[in-house]
Amino acid sequence: MTTRTTTLARSRDELAAALVEQDGAPGRGRPYRRAVVMTMGALHEGHLSLVAQARTLADHVVVTIFVNPLQFAPTEDLARYPRDLDADLALLTGPDLLGPDDVVFAPDVDVMYPGGDPVVRVTAGRLGDVLEGAIRPGHLDGVLTVVLKLLHLTRPDVALFGRKDAQQLAVVRRMVADLEVPVEVVGAPLVRDADGLALSSRNAYLSATQREQALALSAALRDGVAAADEGAAAVRAAATDRLAGLDVDYVALVDPDTFDDVPDDHSGEALLLLAARLGTTRLIDNTALVLGAHGREERA
Ligand code: PAF
């Protein structure tokens, strides 16, 4: 089945046929042949920016749309997660996004997991036990398991993931390195609304009041960045103060690779990560920053 000019594949056979067609098409001399952007649908500008970046890296782009049950706990929002394939396809086939050589792979659960829940899964190990992994046990294992399956099914040269899910990006990078997966992983910039709120499919759940309250997350990141010269303790305190009154899951300042907390005397790169709940909606946000930059300049 096709939508406009982009191929929509719902089954493994349809995907395999579409990829064979891509393989047979003449390359256009760009550094990569095929890029994949994995999504759970409910697409927004953040996803579209990933697709636009994929276009610059590859001759062909595959976008996957699959709400992966493995990464939701029984208490989470799997059932109500927004699903609208037609709306997603309309967005993806907009100007400068997917074209005739590109593919959308939108399998049902039975197509992805034909034998039921997989017995053998990928584990994120220590990286899957902290922050998101501590609050959502098994979540990152579920993400890695579906990401590895989708990499096998789509056979890309490059896979793009948004930096908004910073811990997800870190565990995917680690899986690719540790398990020798032949793909380059590219982290793409986080996209925000004009008022600073990081784009997320879950923003759709927020009431107007909650959306206003949610702006505290990006404000807390800005406060953290502003305190970076004063060191880790000041960053943590500034971000925590700004989130006062919200139901906060964590404020963390970590090493970007290991996700270990940085010590108070750390100077150099770090990631400030936040998670908070607005009613039943859980939002995350993060920023990279350089700690003690002023002190380092003085020492230099
Ligand atoms: O980031 C997401 O939307 C999902 O975690 C992903 C990578 C598509 C895996 O289901």
- What pLDDT does 13 receive? 98
Average pLDDT on 160-175 reads 97
pLDDT tens by residue, 14-26: 999 999 888 876 5
- Looking at 44, 47, 152, 294, which residue is catalytic? 47
Q: Where are the domains of the chain?
A: 2-188, 201-290
pLDDT tens by residue, 52-62: 999 999 999 99
- What pLDDT does 1 receive? 52
pLDDT tens by residue, 214-258: 999 999 999 999 999 999 999 999 999 999 999 999 999 999 989
Nearest protein CA to atom 8 of ligand 1, as residue: 39
Residue 165 CB–ligand 1 contact under 6 Å: yes
Average pLDDT on 153-157 reads 97
The CATH architecture assigned to 2-188 reads: 3-Layer(aba) Sandwich (3.40)
Q: Does domain 201-290 have CATH number 3.90.600.10?
A: no
pLDDT tens by residue, 249-283: 999 999 998 999 999 999 999 999 999 999 999 99
Location of structure tokens 């700004």: 242
Residue 68 CB–ligand 1 contact under 6 Å: yes
- Catalytic, 47? Answer yes
Cα 213 to ligand 1 centroid, rounded to whole Å: 26
